[in-house]
Amino acid sequence: MQIRRYKHFASVVGLVLGLLCAVEAAKVNKHKPWIETTYHGIVTENDDKVLLDPPLIALDKDAPLRYAESFEVTFTKEGEICGFRIHGQNVPFEAVVLDKSTGEGVIRAKDKLDCELQKEHTFTIQAYDCGEGPDGANMKKSHKATVHIQVNDINEYSPVFKEKSYKATVIEGKKYDSILKVEAVDADCSFQFSQICSYEIVTPDVPFTVDKDGFIKNTEKLNYSKERMYKLTVTAYDCGKNRASEDVLVKINIKPTCKPGWQGFNKRIEYEPGTGSLALFPSMHLETCEEPITSIQANIELETNHIGKGCDRDTYSEKSLHKLCGASAGTVELLPAPSSSANWTVGLPTDNGHDSDQVFEFNGTQAIKVPEGVVSTSLKEPFTVSVWMRHGPGAREKETILCNSDKTEMNRHHYSLYVHNCHLILLLRQDPAETENYKPAEFHWKLDQVCDKEWHHYVLNVEFPSVALFVDGATFEPFLVTEDYPLHSSKIDMQLTIGACWQDNPGHDKDNETVSEPSTGGNARMSQFFRGNLAGLMIRSGKLENKKVIDCLYTCKEGLDVQLPEEVASAVKVAFNPNQSSLTVEGDDIEAFDKVMQHISYLNSRQFPTPGIRHLRVSTTVKCFNEETCILVPEAAGYVMVLQPEEPKISLSGIDHFARGAAEFESPEGVTLFPELRIVSTITREVEAETEPEATEATEGAEDDPTVQETVVSEEIMHNLDTCEVTALGDELDGEHETLEVDQAQVQQRGLEMTSSNLGLVMTGVNTMANYEQVLHLIRYKNWHTEALFDRKFKLFCSELNGRYISNDFKVEVNVIHTANPMDHANNAMVQPNFISPVHHASVDLSGHNLVNAHQASVVPSAATIVIVVCVSFLVFMIILGVFRIRSAHQRTMRDTEGGKENEMDWDDSALTITVNPMETYEDQHSSEEEEEEEEESEEGEEEDDITSAESESSEDEEAGEPEDQQGASRQQQLEWDDSTLTY
């Protein structure tokens, strides 16, 4: 075992000695290192590492492992690469060995590189080995290789504009391809980051744009009057999306030039009601910039669609308008304003936004039934149907305007007018008495007007079997007429409805007629509901409307007008549309054209027009010699402001409280209700106090006060009325024993119509206030059962323009004087309530005195009766006089305490009341009162002063709205009581 160990050790020692001998033999450095001849590298500005192609590797044949044929390990450094050397001036790179044994190395930047200073670097490099021996002697070097390095750019710089600001000037009215150019630069070295890719206008809402090359141009024609200079802020972006460090300001000045268009046009034109026509363009002229023109055409449009039913028209009832336009009798209004005599439209929604222009709204759930007897159901004779309608887009279902159908069972439609898919359709079935032949039954008109949501006037003249339709005065022929057999004979009553069709059994039709689904909303017997607005629905039986009446009904009360000067009448053509809301002017002479334009005016013939705005537009086309449009004239737009008219105050006044004997009520003539009625209409306006030539003391005092600038002036004016209504207050009229009567011949003679009911009387028709006064004077109240009647009260009011202006409520109280037992009357004289009620005067004071008038029936009593009456009257007189004396003493005590003067007047009035002559007529009293008023300033008598003062106070109370005066009421009670005693 020991021997084996020694043998092994000997073999190891031998191997080591052999290796040492080999190393000793390899110490000789025979070969030079080897590298590539050319290298290419890339480096980024913000990095120091260079990417080389090919990689930097130096090889040496002295390297034992790589080039030796045996695998003997050597410990010498011959064959190792110790470094690389760079040759060149100011080369900002260095080469570093990473692994000596493999010869790998890298090139690094010594300092921060700047592409903007130098984009490429070229130099040489050389490798060297570690040499021989421990000290590295005999080091060998490789050949020199060329290295090319490119420095990559980073986007470190932002664009910068070359100029601090830019300016340009352009002429208004032109579009430019390029106004100016802005330019920015970028300091980056690369093409990508140094290139400007886009420009942008930062300022919003300007009529300019900039392209990628920096050229600015306008997107629309510029207007000097709108803007004289634009200031734009522009920025730039490079292709690396860096924005300019500072935006640049661009100023573009607009230079005025000759601008074609209308000069001297006022946008706001104020129209004062009642002033006739108003020139719209008094100083306007057309500027053509000296262009050689051949023709000019201008279209002037006045927009009035938002006023009433398409424009300003009289808002009288449709029946009154037909009469004013010349339509004869026989016209029946199916959609009247709700009143005591025509109440079937009560509850139907109305449009009250058009100055009482009575418009009814149908929303698809409402319909009304016309009472029997309002219109004849026989259509054998010619008849006319007219209506104002505003309807929206068409629906699949039928929408009924007017329908006459069976009341029960059959559900047959005898005639109807309805809308279906923008078609206007008239259904007219033959009566059963007709022969069993096909005859026209349905007339269809396809009209845009049906669905445009605007007001239009429709008139159908029916003269079977032909039907003529007029829409806004223009004639339209039916595009389809269908025929049908006559209706079956039946005794079923018919029902006339508006806004839907009456169906006794909705959904079932025994005569093969189309019926829509049952309605909702609690009206289960209606179908085919209408959605829209209707007004002025009329039927006129027996006669057709002529074109003149139709045009009158449609014609507006406002519109454009022109009075052509004689010198230009032949040079210019003027054409109006039917309702005069638009006119066209054509000519070739500019001067003549301007004169015609200056004579165009606005006219509103209504006494009380609808206030508000009417938009006005002037569109102009100018042609040159080549028959082409050479200049563009902009549209001129403005508006007419119709000012608020001075609204009238209609006042009714007269005797509002009087007593009559029972015999008068029971007589054939009855009692006149309004014997002294006066209808006065006034307007109140404010004027400057300084303009009054003769001022009162109060006004002069106001002028001294600098804060008072205006004074109120009231003027009486004349205008028409269209309705006066007398209504019984309290219980309705009992037709068995009381009535209101008026001479029908007198009513018709004055062009009025009258309807009566248990509520009272209604006078209708457009007529003067004087004619209404005369007719109202004729109204008499009769009562042939006055035993239980002590008083009766009535109310009267009048109106104008279908309720636009309404008078005060004038109330009249009539007391009945009954003949009673003399002693009972004497005993109860002080407690009769019917003759001591307070009375409010309208304009005539002491009206209660008028107990005996010219119309009172005379009675010749016997001698005994006269004696009894005289005795009783004297007794009653003495009792009353005693009571008054006691009361007067008390009042004197109060006067002494308060030092007032008013109670003296009360006493004097009461005294005068007692001494009134019972046979004196009201006219005598009234004339005496007027004389007393004239003598008020003279102060000759205490009684005259008191009476005049009382009358003056009463007048002031009326102007203040007739407030209650307790002393006046007490005084009137005394007057009423005294009057009652004088009759006995």
Exposed, middle or buried: residue 955 (CB in 10 Å: 0-12, 13-18, 19+)?
middle
Strand partners, 624: 293
Among left, alpha and beta (phi > 0; psi -120 to 50; other), residue 501 is beta
Q: How far is CA 292 from CA 233, 348, 619, 634, 870, in A?
A: 41, 62, 20, 18, 106
Q: Tell me whether strands 331-333 and 531-541 are parallel, antiparallel or unpaired.
A: antiparallel
When mean pLDDT is compared over 317-331, 727-741, 855-869, the highest value belongs to 727-741
Query: CA 278: distance to chain centroid?
Result: 25
Superfamily of domain 38-67+75-152: Cadherins (2.60.40.60)
**What confidence category does residue 216 fall into, taking pLDDT thresholds of 50, 70 and 90?**
very high
Q: How far apart are CA 387 and CA 555, in angstroms?
A: 14
Q: Write the pLDDT tens digit of every residue in 897-942.
A: 444 333 333 333 433 334 344 344 344 444 444 444 444 443 443 3
Residues 6+ apart with CB under 8 A from 193: 153, 154, 155, 157, 186, 238, 239, 240, 242
pLDDT of residue 973: 38
Given a contact cutoff of 8 angstroms between Cβ atoms, the answer to whether 401 and 448 are in contact is: no
Domain boundaries, the chain: 38-67+75-152, 160-255, 261-305+558-642, 318-504+524-554, 650-685+715-817
Q: Which residues of 923-938 are buried (b: 16+ CB within 10 A; e: fewer)?
A: eebbeebeebbeeeee
Q: Which band of pLDDT confidence, cut at 50, 70 and 90, is reported for residue 28? A: low
pLDDT score, position 832: 37
Q: How far apart are CA 732 and CA 744, in angstroms?
A: 22
pLDDT in tens, 624-677: 876 666 788 899 999 999 998 888 999 999 999 999 998 999 998 999 999 999
Q: What is the mean pLDDT of residues 538-545?
A: 84
The per-residue pLDDT for 950 is 33
pLDDT computed for residue 770 by the predictor:
93
- 982 has a pLDDT exceeding 50: no
| pLDDT tens digits, one per residue of 607-622 | 889 899 999 999 999 8
Listed residue (282, 169, 291, 288) closest to 224, CA to CA: 169
CA dist 950 and 973 (Å) reads 15
Chain segment 239-272, per-residue pLDDT in tens = 888 888 899 999 999 988 777 889 898 999 999 9
Separation CA 304–CA 310 (nearest Å): 6
Residue 566 DSSP symbol: G
Half-sphere exposure of 916 (CA within 13 A, CB side): 33
Out of 99-108, 222-231, 304-313, 429-438, least confident range: 429-438
- Closest CA relative to residue 804, chosen from 605, 962, 609, 559: 609
pLDDT of residue 848: 34
The reply to whether CATH 2.60.40.60 applies to domain 160-255 is yes
pLDDT in tens, 948-980: 333 333 333 434 334 344 444 333 433 334 443
Structure token pair of residue 24: 């000793």
- Under DSSP, the state recorded for 762 is E
Q: Where are the beta strands (DSSP E) in 304-395?
A: 331-333, 350-351, 359-363, 368-370, 383-391
Which DSSP helix (H) or strand (E) runs through 823?
Answer: helix 822-827
CATH class of the region 318-504+524-554? mainly beta
Checking if the pLDDT of 560 tops 60, the result is yes
pLDDT of residue 865: 61
* Distances in whole angstroms, Cα of residue 247 to Cα of each of 182, 183, 206, 233, 942: 11, 11, 17, 6, 97
The average pLDDT across 54-81 equals: 60
Supply the pLDDT for residue 546: 84
The per-residue pLDDT of the chain, averaged, comes to 76
Give the pair of three-digit tokens for residue 740: 């209101």
Q: Quick one: how far is CA 21 from the chain centroid?
A: 119
Antiparallel, parallel or unpaired: β 657-661 and 810-817: parallel
CATH classification (class only), 261-305+558-642? mainly beta
3-class SS of residue 755: strand
- Write the secondary structure of 3-30 as one string of H (helix), E (strand) and C (coil): HHHHHHHHHHHHHHHHHHHHHHHHCCCC
Give percent above pLDDT 70 in the chain: 72
Q: Name which of 204-218, 229-243, 329-343, 773-787 the model is least confident about.
A: 329-343
Q: Who has greater pLDDT, 289 or 870?
A: 289
Answer whether 261-305+558-642 and 318-504+524-554 agree in fold: no
Average pLDDT for residues 881-890, to the nearest whole number?
66
